[in-house]
Chains A and B, each alone.
Chain A
C-alpha cells in the first residue's frame, strides 16, 4: 500500500535551493494573491461612496491611519511594490514563456547549468529590476509626500 506524498500548493512558497527563477515564481504567486485580495477590498471600499460624502470622508481618514499613523501609506506602498513586481515580472514571463530571448537547444556540459535560466533571461531580470526600483521609488515618494519628481 502506497501513501500520498504531494507537496501541495504550500510548496509554491518554498523557493529555497532552486535558484532565482524559482524565487521569482514564489514572489509572483504571492504578489498575485496580495493584489487579488487588495482588489476585492478596494472594490468594497470605493463602493461606499454611494453612502454619501460624510461616510466617504470618514472612511478616507480611517484608511489613512487605520492602526496608528503611517499605516495607511505603508499598506499602499506594499500594494504598489506588489503591483510593480507582478506587472514587470509578468512582462518578462510573457517574453520568455513564448520562447523569446531563450537559447536554442544546446549540448549540456557538466556541471549542467541550465542556460534557459541564465543569459538573456538574467539580463531581462536585471533590466526590469532597475525599472522596478525606479517606479517604486517615485511611487513611494508620492505616497508619503504627495510630490511627483
Chain B
C-alpha cells in the first residue's frame, strides 16, 4: 500500500525557474531579480523551492517561515502577482515554468522576502484585540452560547499573516490606514457578547483612517489564506456604526457563571 502511495514521489517532474526579488541591506543595493533553476518533485511547495535554493544554489537568500503548514502565517509573499502563503502553494498546481516571487507589498523589506510586519501588529494592538471588561480580575467565567460564538467565530481564524494589508489598494496609498486585519478584529471583539469595549474602540475605528477608508475592493478577502473574509467584517462593522448614529449601540455584556473559589478558575 505504502509503495503505491509513494509511487512517483521523489522523481523530478520538471524544472522551473524561480525569479526572486532580492534586497540586501548590507550592500545597500536596490532590489533586483535573480533567477534560479529548481527541480520540482510532486508535492513540492514554493517554500520547499525557496529552501532548495537556499540549500543548493544561494545560501544568502532569506525568507521567513516556521510551521510549513499554513498555521503560523510567517511565509506570506507575492507569488506570480498574488499574495499567497509559500508553504500552502504547490509549484505544480501553479502550472507555470516561471515563478515570480516578491516580498509582500506595503511593508518595509528587512531582507529579500522578509517584510517588516510591525505596522500590522501596531494596528492590531490599536483596536484592543481582547475582551474589555471593567473587572480587573474576574472570579467566574463570562457565559456564551455556541450561537453567540458563531457571530464572530470566523474572524478568530486570522493567523496574522498580513497578506490582506499587502493586497489592499487603500493601504497602498494611505500610510495610516488601520487595514483589513485590524478592522475585522475590531468587529470580532465588538460583536463578542462578553465584551464591553465598543465605546473605547470607537475613536480608533470610527476615524479618518479607520473603517470609512475601506472602499470594498475585496482584495483582502480574496487573498486571505484562512477564509477570514475581512472585507465582510469591515462592512458589518460599518453597518453597526451607521446604525449607531440612529440608535445607540448597547453592549449588554454577558451574565457571569458561578463564582469560583480560586482565581485560576479551578475549583
A residues near B (Cβ < 8 Å) are 1-9, 11-12, 15-22, 25-26, 28, 93, 96-100, 102-110, 112-117
Closest CB in chain B relative to A134 CB, distance in Å? 25
Q: Contact check, B108 vs A97: say whether CB atoms are below 8 A apart.
A: no
Q: Contact check, A8 vs B108: say whether CB atoms are below 8 A apart.
A: no
Nearest 5 A-B pairs (CB), nearest first? A99-B239, A108-B227, A112-B227, A21-B218, A114-B221
Closest CB in chain B relative to A7 CB, distance in Å? 4
Q: Contact check, B238 vs A114: say whether CB atoms are below 8 A apart.
A: no
B residues near A (Cβ < 8 Å) are 23, 25, 28, 31, 80-82, 103-110, 115-116, 150-155, 157, 166-167, 169, 172-173, 175, 191, 214-219, 221-229, 231-233, 235-236, 238-240, 242
Contacts A25-B217, A98-B242, A105-B155; is A114 near B227 (CB within 8 Å)?
Answer: yes
Contacts A25-B216, A117-B231; is A108 near B157 (CB within 8 Å)?
Answer: yes
Q: Contact check, A18 vs B82: say whether CB atoms are below 8 A apart.
A: yes
Q: Contact check, A96 vs B108: say whether CB atoms are below 8 A apart.
A: no
- Main SS class of interface, B: mixed
Closest CB in chain A relative to B142 CB, distance in Å? 19
Closest CB in chain A relative to B248 CB, distance in Å? 18
Contacts A3-B31, A109-B227; is A9 near B108 (CB within 8 Å)?
Answer: no
Chain B residues with Cβ below 8 Å from A107 are: 150, 153-154
Chain B residues with Cβ below 8 Å from A109 are: 227
A2, closest chain B residue (CB)? B108
Q: Contact check, A108 vs B154: say whether CB atoms are below 8 A apart.
A: yes
Q: Contact check, A12 vs B172: say whether CB atoms are below 8 A apart.
A: yes
Q: Contact check, B109 vs A115: say whether CB atoms are below 8 A apart.
A: no
A-B contact pairs, 15 of them (CB 8 A): A2-B110, A5-B103, A5-B106, A5-B115, A8-B172, A22-B219, A25-B217, A97-B238, A98-B235, A98-B239, A99-B235, A107-B154, A108-B154, A108-B227, A116-B232
A17, closest chain B residue (CB)? B82
Question: In the bound complex, what is the Cα–Cα distance between A105 and B104 (angstroms)?
Answer: 28
Q: Contact check, B151 vs A7: say whether CB atoms are below 8 A apart.
A: no
Q: Contact check, B235 vs A116: say whether CB atoms are below 8 A apart.
A: yes
- Main SS class of interface, A: loop
A112, closest chain B residue (CB)? B227
Q: Contact check, A105 vs B227: say whether CB atoms are below 8 A apart.
A: no
Closest CB in chain B relative to A6 CB, distance in Å? 6
A103, closest chain B residue (CB)? B232
Which one, A7, A110, A116, contacts B231 given CB within 8 A?
A: A116
Question: In the bound complex, what is the Cα–Cα distance between A45 and B79 (angstroms)?
Answer: 48
Q: Contact check, B155 vs A112: say whether CB atoms are below 8 A apart.
A: no
**Given pairs A2-B110, A6-B172, A114-B231, 9 additional interface contacts (CB within 8 A):** A1-B25, A6-B175, A9-B172, A11-B105, A20-B218, A21-B218, A25-B217, A96-B216, A105-B150
Chain A residues with Cβ below 8 Å from B222 are: 18-19, 21-22, 114, 117
Q: Contact check, B229 vs A108: say whether CB atoms are below 8 A apart.
A: yes
Chain A residues with Cβ below 8 Å from B157 are: 108
Closest CB in chain A relative to B246 CB, distance in Å? 12
Q: Contact check, A3 vs B23: say whether CB atoms are below 8 A apart.
A: yes
Chain A residues with Cβ below 8 Å from B151 are: 104-105
Output the residue of B23, B115, B215, B225 with the most chain A CB within 10 A: B215
Question: In the bound complex, what is the Cα–Cα distance between A117 and B231 (angstroms)?
Answer: 9
Closest CB in chain B relative to A61 CB, distance in Å? 41
Question: In the bound complex, what is the Cα–Cα distance between A125 and B197 (angstroms)?
Answer: 36
